[in-house]
Structure 1
Amino acid sequence: MVEPCHDIAHLAHVELLTDRFEDSLDFFTRVYGLSVSAKSEGVAYLRGFDDYEFHTLKLTAATTTGIGHVAYRASSPEALQRRVAVIEALGCGLGWVDGDEGHGRAYRFTDPDGHTFEIYYDTRRFVADDSSRAALKNIASRFHGQGVCVRRLDHLNLLAKDVSAVRDWITQALGSRVSEYIQLDNGRIGGCWFTVNNKTYDVAYTEDHTGHTGRFHHVTYAVDQREDVLRAADIFLENGVHIETGPHKHAIQGTFFLYVYEPAGNRVEVANAGARLLLAPDWEPVVWTEADRKKGQAWGLKTIESFHTHGTPPVPHEG
């Protein structure tokens, strides 16, 4: 057994690119319910009401869509240096960059599929003012009730041409553990779920059937209960937001979910997540076969075709 690595504390934030900045910002604030921590020309720093960091979503105006970068926070300055040494030895480092509104200096690197990551330790905590301060001291800010009003960043899903290569890389680079994966009949891994702590996963990679690299599948914020997901469906309906699929329950990871597209076309999920924890230090990954996956989701629902084909940025044949 490989001893669990605790150099990485948690998934910290995700940068999304949008070619419809104002429309995307309206969706993420008024409809999805994130709060603005800071905003400048073409950039907005957003957070769920119980995210302790200054931001967990960085929305950036661009000529395309998809993922800008994925950020993790290290568990200590020493842990950050240990991870940097490992990443540099793997040959995928890009070097140090200055921080932004939400954190200090960070080390950037790429995964085998070309997605950009960064790790930092020095962070800026959100400080609530009188209008956002919660009655309870152990909540980062009050439940404001705007839109879906998601609680916190939970996970993201990236697309990859070769999931096996990513699995071998991420367990070394971040010290992540594999919680579950899909073993296809052709020998390839169709999807793999990873965690750096006791959550069941903070990032998933699934096979990009277009054969392209560096694309984005979805980002997920968590709510407290299933009723919140059902309520979110009504809010999306009332606001003309395209609901791709759900509410339903995933077989893998058991998440109760709802997927929509924000105005630029990036997929966003609302989920009742976090009930399951991996407390076993010697956890053995759960293996799902191709036959298992053909049964559909937990309640036998056939997975909608676009869930396997749509990603951002789009490829030419997606239209």
Structure 2
Amino acid sequence: MTFAHDPDGRRDIAHVGPIELYTPVLDESAEFFVRVMGLRAVHRDAGAVYLHTWDDYQSWTVRLVRRDRAGIGRTYLRAASPQALDRLTSGRACEVVHDVHNLGEVRVLTDPDGHEFGLYWDVAWYEADDTDRPALKNQAAAYPGRGANLRRLDHVNYLTADVPGTAAFLRDVLGARCTEQIVKDDGRPQAIWFSLGNKTYDLVYTEDWTGTRGRLHHVAFATDTREEILRAADVCLDAGVHIETGPHKHAIQQTFFLYVWEPGGNRIELCNAGARLILAPDWRTISWTAAERAKGQAWGLKTIDTFHTHGTPVIDPESPA
């Protein structure tokens, strides 16, 4: 399956903005992100902690929300302009909210699987204070020199009961481009990677083996170098963080990675895709077969079983979807 994009090359989504992440252990999850991952706690409200990665120009990157079960909340997407925001939502039923911290009007759309996307234009920029003011004025905050030193949010991988049906939402509503995909033997896509700009990918839909809707596979954050991911593995080891797999390299998208589980149970990826960009306006989707995927990662390592079975919220496979 090949997904087209806007033929005139217009991109109405600028990038993935902040996200909401649910956790049943809010304090422990916040401690993980601040002490081990190197984020900064910048705001609190009832049942939530707001965190900032050091080079995010926006005022916050992650909103940790206390919930009974882990999982993904709303993903915010910044429009390329006020006019782009209007184009994206024109003629579509959407909820309009004005109470998101440091964002202006947010127009909420929901994909067929139940994942919420909040589209916005107005945003408050991060203002460093004397404790994290950078020496370089073109940097949002000083390099933290703490834990994994995560620089920015990179991408979100959602689990979905219907990959082609849900992925069409990104293509038809948001104008995203499919860059790579896994295709099953019957020709149906099993996972699809979408790009909103020139990055190789920003949003991913992966088939949920339980048939459940609205779950999360993982949230990924970028580091500056691969060496920082290697150091992060040692940091996580010392902190008692569950390391699921890595560090090694994906064949798909060539991402160097480490996967860990934060205390709430959400899978977190630390990634570095190097300088690989999608510059071709007529990029041809790369398809990977089941046989090719069975070979393992780029360096021949077997994919750990939990990578295919763990998602949040955790579902009992014996219960109905």
Q: Partners of 2:220 and 2:98 in 1: how far apart?
A: 27
Q: How does 1:278-297 map to 2 (within 5 A)?
A: 278-297=278-297
Q: Deviation digits for residues 252-279 of structure 1, max 9, x if unmatched?
A: 0001000000011000011113521111
Q: Deviation digits for residues 118-175 of structure 1, max 9, x if unmatched?
A: 1000001001112211111111111011211101111010001111112222111111
Query: Given residue 142 of structure 2, which amino acid in structure 1 is its aligned partner?
Result: R
Gaps of 5+ in 2: none
Contact 1:192 1:205 in 2 (8 A): yes
**SS of equivalent residue, structure 2 residue 90:** helix
Q: Partners of 1:40 and 1:235 in 2: how far apart?
A: 29
Contact 2:296 2:302 in 1 (8 A): yes
Query: Given residue 38 of structure 2, which amino acid in structure 1 is its aligned partner?
Result: G
Identify the residue that residue 17 of structure 1 maps to in structure 2: 22
Which runs of structure 1 show a deviation greater than 6 angstroms over 4 or more consecutive aligned residues? none
Q: Partners of 2:52 and 2:188 in 1: how far apart?
A: 36
Q: Partners of 1:32 and 1:11 in 2: how far apart?
A: 20
Identify the residue that residue 4 of structure 1 maps to in structure 2: 9
Contact 1:179 1:283 in 2 (8 A): yes
Structure 1 position 318, deviation (Å): 8.5
**SS of equivalent residue, structure 2 residue 257:** strand
Q: How does 1:193-232 map to 2 (within 5 A)?
A: 193-232=193-232
Identify the residue that residue 71 of structure 1 maps to in structure 2: 76
Query: Given residue 206 of structure 2, which amino acid in structure 1 is its aligned partner?
Result: T
Q: Partners of 1:81 and 1:94 in 2: how far apart?
A: 12
Q: Scaled by the length of structure 1, what TM-score is found?
A: 0.96
User: Identity of aligned pairs, percent?
Assistant: 50
Identify the residue that residue 310 of structure 1 maps to in structure 2: 310
Gaps of 5+ in 1: none
Identify the residue that residue 57 of structure 2 maps to in structure 1: 52
**SS of equivalent residue, structure 2 residue 317:** helix
Contact 2:210 2:317 in 1 (8 A): no
Query: Given residue 132 of structure 1, which amino acid in structure 2 is its aligned partner?
Result: D
Q: Scaled by the length of structure 2, what TM-score is found?
A: 0.95
Determine if the alignment matches structure 1 residue 32 to structure 2 residue 55.
no
Q: Partners of 1:289 and 1:108 in 2: how far apart?
A: 35
**SS of equivalent residue, structure 1 residue 30:** helix
Q: Partners of 1:313 and 1:111 in 2: how far apart?
A: 18
Q: Partners of 1:292 and 1:102 in 2: how far apart?
A: 45
Q: Partners of 1:61 and 1:5 in 2: how far apart?
A: 38
Determine if the alignment matches structure 1 residue 141 to structure 2 residue 141.
yes
Contact 1:154 1:273 in 2 (8 A): no
Q: Partners of 1:275 and 1:99 in 2: how far apart?
A: 37
Q: Partners of 1:275 and 1:210 in 2: how far apart?
A: 35
Cα distance change, pair 156–125 in 1 and its aligned pair in 2 (3 A): same
**SS of equivalent residue, structure 1 residue 82:** helix
Identify the residue that residue 153 of structure 1 maps to in structure 2: 153
Contact 1:157 1:206 in 2 (8 A): yes
What is the aligned-residue RMSD (CA, Å)?
A: 1.4
**SS of equivalent residue, structure 1 residue 168:** helix
Contact 1:5 1:176 in 2 (8 A): no
Identify the residue that residue 191 of structure 1 maps to in structure 2: 191
Q: Partners of 1:274 and 1:74 in 2: how far apart?
A: 25
